[in-house]
Amino acid sequence: MATATSSAPVRRGDHPIVVFWRVLRANPLSLFGFLLVALICIVALIVAVAPHVLVPYGPEQETGLFNAPPSWAHPFGTDGLSFDVYSNVMRALPLDLGLGVGIAGVSLVIGGALGLIAGFYDTPGTLGGYTSVSIMRVTDVFLSFPSLILALAITRVLGPGILNVAIAVIITWWPYYVRLVRGEVLAVKHLPYVTAARAAGVTENRILLRHVLRNVTEPLVVYFTLDIGTVLVTYSTIAYIGVASKYPGPQPEWGAMLAFYQGSAPISSYPWLVLAPGLAVFVTVIAFSLLGDGLRDILDPRTRRAFVRGAAPEPPAERPTPDAPAAEAESDRGEVPVVAPDPGAVA
Amino acid sequence: MGRSPGDLLIFVLKRLLQLIPVLIGVIVLTFICTHLKLSGLCNAVYPHASKAVIDACNAKYGAPLLPQFVSYITNLLQGNWGASTLGQAVYPAIAADLPATIELVLAALFLMIVIGIPLGVIAAQYGGRWADHLVRIFYLSGWATPTYLGAVLAAVFIGPALGLPTRGEYSTVVPPFPQYTHMSVVDAIIAGNFPYTVDAIEHLILPASVLAFINMGIATRMTRASMLEVLPLDFVRSARMKGLSEFWVMYKHALRNALITTTTVLGVTAGGLLAGTVVIEEVFDWPGIGQYAYDAIGGGGSVANFDGAIAVVIVFAIGVVVANMIADILYGVLDPRVDWR
C-alpha cells in the first residue's frame, strides 16, 4: 500500500515548511498531532498571558462546593478543598508545557554543542581528539543511569522547588543529545559535499556550522519534538513523588495535583479528580508523540524507503542510480550529492 | 571467523571487563551529583532534628570532598552502604528487595516480547493502513501515559473489574513456605505450592502489565522499523515464491532477521523499566527496591534516607549497565556476522 509520501516525494530544494506539510498530509495521525500541539500551545499562551479568559477561578479560590461531580460550571468538578479542578488543570498547563520545552531545549543546546564538538573534532592525538574522547566517556556514564532516578537523587540534594527539579532533570538529560548529534555528525562529516567544501578552502569552523550542523538539524528537531513529552512525563513524575512542588499552592502542577487527589479522597468515588490532571498530561504528551513519531518515520532511512516506495515487497535498487526514485528520496540527507548538492556548499 | 564455544567465552569475558571502567564512572558520578550542594543539606535532610544530630551530619557530609570520596568508596567496597535516618542498614535492605524488582521487570519484559513484537510485525505487514495506525496509537498511548496515572488507574479500576489483586506479592503477608529467592512466583514453585503459585502470578499481572504497557513503544517501534527494512529483501520474496504461508514468511523468515536489532533495543529499555518500578512498586505495594527508592528519596512525605538514595542510584545504574551488556552479548550470539574474537 503505497500511501504515505509516495504521492508527495520529499525533494531536496523544497522549502522545509513545504516538506513538513507534505509529511503531515501523508500521515493523518501526525496531522492530528500537529493540530493538537498547535491548539495546546495557543491555549497555554492565553492562560499565561490573560488567564481570566479561559480560567474562571483562582488557584486557591474556594467555590463552596466540595467534591462536586463535573458540571457546566465546573467542567472537571471540584475537589475536597472546594477548588475548581478545571481552573487548576488549566493553570498548570503553561508551567508543565514550558518545563517540557525549556528542559528539552536547554538539554538540546548543551548536548547538541558537545555532540557537534565530539563528532567533528575527533582526530585522535589532537586536542580535539582528547576533548572528544572525554566528552563521550562522561556521556556514556550518564547514559547508564535511568534519568528519573538520578534526577530524583539530585533533587534530594538541591532541595524541592521547580527550578531545582528543572536543573536536576537537565543534568541527566543532555547526554542523550550528545549521543544523537555525534552519531549524525559522524554520518555526515565524510560525505562528498563536506570534502568538496574543504577542497574549496572553506574553514573548518564554517564547514561545521554551515554544512554539518545544517544537515544534523532535521533528526534533531524530530527527536526534540518527541522529547518534550518525555521530559513532561519525567518532571510530573518527580512532582508526583512529592519532591518538586506542592499542591495546593499558588502554582498548580499536574503530577503534584494527581498525588494530592489520590490521597485526599477515594478515587473510585471521585474519579474526575485523578483523571483531569492525568489526562492533561496524557493528551499533551500524545500530541507531541503523534507529531514526532510520524516525522521520525520519514527521517529514519530504514522506514523511509518502505514508506516512500510502499511497504509492498519490492526489492530496493542495489545501487541507486541518480534517476531512481529511491535515490531521490535519500537525497534530502545529502547521501547522493551528485544529483542534489547540499545548499550550504553553494555558499 | 571465530565462532567456536571458546571464542564465545572470550567474547563474554571482554564484555565483563568493559564493565569495570563504566562502574567506576557510575560511582564517581553518583558521588559528584549527590554532593553538588553541601551547605544546608543536613537541615534539608533532618528538618526537625536536634543540634547534635545536625552537627553529626555536618561532620559526615561537610568535610572536604576528596577525603569524603575516599571514605565513601572504601565503605562502598566493604559492603557498608550506610544506614537510613531510622538506623536500618542500607545494604541488607536493598539485597533483600532486589529479587522482587528483578521478577517484576522480567515479567514486564516477557509481556513486551510476546505482545509488543507481534504488534510490530502486524504494523509493518499493514504499513500505512489502519492496522498500522491502531498499533501506533496503542504504543504511543503507553508512551504518553505517565507511570503514576497508569498505575493508579489500573489499581483502582482495572484490578477490581478483572478481580485481580492490587497489593503485595501474595494474599497473605507471609507465605507458609521459606522464601529462598525472594521472587514470589519462583519461591511458590520451589515449595511446590500450586495455590500460592497461582496467587503469586495473579499478584504479578497488574504491575507487570502496567510496566510493560508504558515501555511497549520501543519494542514495537523497533520491530516495525526492522521489519519494514527486511520485507523488501530478496530472501523474503523467495520465501513467498516457495509458496510458504504468509504467517511462516513473516514470523520465521522476516522476523528472525528483524529481531537482531530489537534485541539490542530491549536492553536499552532496562532504564525505563527500572525507573518505572519506583512508582509502580509504591502503588501496588510491591516489596522491591523501587519502593525502597521511593521511600529513600522522601516520596509521599516519608522521612528521607540519604545513604539509601545514593545506594539506589548506583544499584539502578548497575542494573542498566548489566542489561545493556546482556543485550550486547545476545546480539553477538544471534547475529552470525559478529566475530567473537
Q: How much is the average pLDDT of B96-103?
A: 92
Distances (CA, A) of B1 to A330, B7, B11, B337, B339: 34, 10, 13, 9, 6
Q: What is the pLDDT of residues A67-93, one digit of tens each?
A: 778 888 888 888 878 888 888 899 999
Interchain CB contact of B171 with A (< 8 Å): no
- Say if residue A337's pLDDT is above 70: no
Query: Does residue A64 lie within any of the structural domains?
Result: no
**CATH number of the domain encompassing residue A292:** 1.10.3720.10
CA nearest neighbour of B106 among B217, B269, B251, B220: B269
Interface test with A, best of B24, B148, B277 (most A CBs within 10 A): B148
B52 located within any domain: no
Look at residue B305 and tell me if it is in a domain: yes
| A201 lies in some domain | yes
Kindly state whether B241 is in contact with chain A, defined as any CB-CB distance less than 8 angstroms.
no
* Partner B contacted by A200 (CB < 8 A): no
Mean per-residue pLDDT, B316-329: 88
What is the band of A42 on the pLDDT scale with cuts at 50, 70, 90? very high
Cβ distance A165 to A182 under 8 Å?
no
Q: Is pLDDT above 60 for A207?
A: yes
Which residue out of A25, A141, A163, A225 would a mutagenesis test of the B interface target, given it has the greatest number of B Cβ atoms within 10 Å?
A: A141
* CB-CB under 8 Å, B41 with A157: yes
* Structural domain count of chain B: 1
B137 Cβ under 8 Å from any chain A Cβ:
yes
Residue B230 lies in a domain: yes
In a domain? residue A191? yes
Res A37: pLDDT: 94
Chain B residues in contact with A255 by the CB 8 A cut-off are 146, 148
Residue of A nearest to B215 (CA): A230
Q: Do the domain assignments include residue A223? A: yes
Averaged pLDDT for residues A288-312: 65
Mean pLDDT for B170-179 is 81
Whether the pLDDT of residue B54 is over 90: the answer is no
Task: Mark yes or no for CB contact A236/B146 under 8 Å.
Answer: yes
Q: Confirm or reject contact between A161 and chain B (CB < 8 A).
A: no
* Identity at B29, one-letter amino acid code: L
Mean of pLDDT over chain B = 85
Tell me, what's the pLDDT at B176? 82
Give the number of beta-carbon pairs within 8 Å between A and B. Answer: 216
Asked if residue B54 is part of any domain, the answer here is: no
Measured in residues, chain A has a length of 347
Contact A255 B317 (CB under 8 A): no
Lookup result for grid cell 495535583: A257
Q: What is residue A250's predicted lDDT score, i.e. its pLDDT?
A: 83
Query: What average pLDDT does the segment A94-105 reach?
Result: 94
Nearest to B336, CA basis, from B267, B256, B229, B249: B256
Question: Using 50, 70 and 90 to split pLDDT, how confident is the model at A6?
Answer: very low
Q: Is the pLDDT of residue A315 over 50?
A: no
Q: 3-class DSSP state for residue A80?
A: coil
Q: What is the pLDDT of residue A311?
A: 35
Please answer whether residues A84 and A149 qualify as being in contact, where contact means their C-beta atoms are separated by less than 8 angstroms.
no
Residue of B16, B26, B153 lying closest to A144 (CA atoms): B26
ipTM of the complex: 0.84
What is the percent of chain B with per-residue pLDDT over 90, rounded to a whole number? 26
Whether B146 maps to a domain, the answer reads yes
Between CA B224 and CA B188 the distance in angstroms is 37
Binned at pLDDT 50, 70 and 90, residue A341 comes out as very low
Residue among B34, B144, B229 minimizing CB distance to A157: B34
Domain membership of residue B33 (yes or no) is no
User: In terms of residue numbers, what domain contains A153?
Assistant: 19-46+78-311
Tell me how close the Cα of A227 comes to any Cα of chain B, in angstroms. Answer: 11
Residues of A in contact with B297 (CB under 8 A): 152-153, 155-156, 241, 243
Residue B261's pLDDT band (boundaries 50, 70, 90)? confident
Residue pair B275/B211 in contact by the 8 Å Cβ criterion: no
pLDDT for B37: 58
Put simply, whether B143 touches A (Cβ < 8 Å) is yes
Out of B144, B240, B300, name the one closest to residue A289 (CB). B144
Which pLDDT band holds residue A219 (cuts at 50, 70, 90)? confident
Residue B285 lies in a domain: yes
Q: pLDDT tens digits for A235-279?
A: 999 988 877 777 778 888 898 888 888 888 788 888 888 899 999
pLDDT at B225: 87
For residue B6, being part of any structural domain is answered with no
As a whole number of angstroms, the distance between CA B23 and CA B21 comes to: 5
Q: What is the pLDDT of residues B82-92, one digit of tens each?
A: 887 777 888 88
Q: Tell me which residue range forms the domain holding B106.
A: 90-334
CATH number of the domain at B252, please.
1.10.3720.10
> Given a cut of 80, is residue B64 above it in pLDDT?
no
Q: What is the pLDDT of residue B62?
A: 62
For chain A, the 3-state helix, strand and coil shares in percent, each to the nearest 5, are 70, 0, 30
Is residue A278 one of the residues assigned to a domain?
yes
User: Is pLDDT at B149 greater than 50 in this prediction?
Assistant: yes
Enumerate the residues of chain B whose CB falls inside 8 A of the CB of residue A316.
232-233
Interface touch B275/A3, C-beta < 8 Å:
no
pLDDT at A174: 93
Question: What pLDDT sits at residue A158?
Answer: 80
**Band (A322; pLDDT cuts 50, 70, 90):** very low
**φ and ψ at residue B253, rounded to 5 degrees:** -85, -55
- Number of independent structural domains in chain A: 1
A136-140, A191-195, A242-246, B118-122: segment of lowest average pLDDT: A242-246
Q: Measured between alpha carbons, how far is B304 from A216 in angstroms, rounded to an integer?
A: 43
Beta strands in A31-104 (DSSP E): none
Chain A CB within 8 Å of residue B133 CB: yes
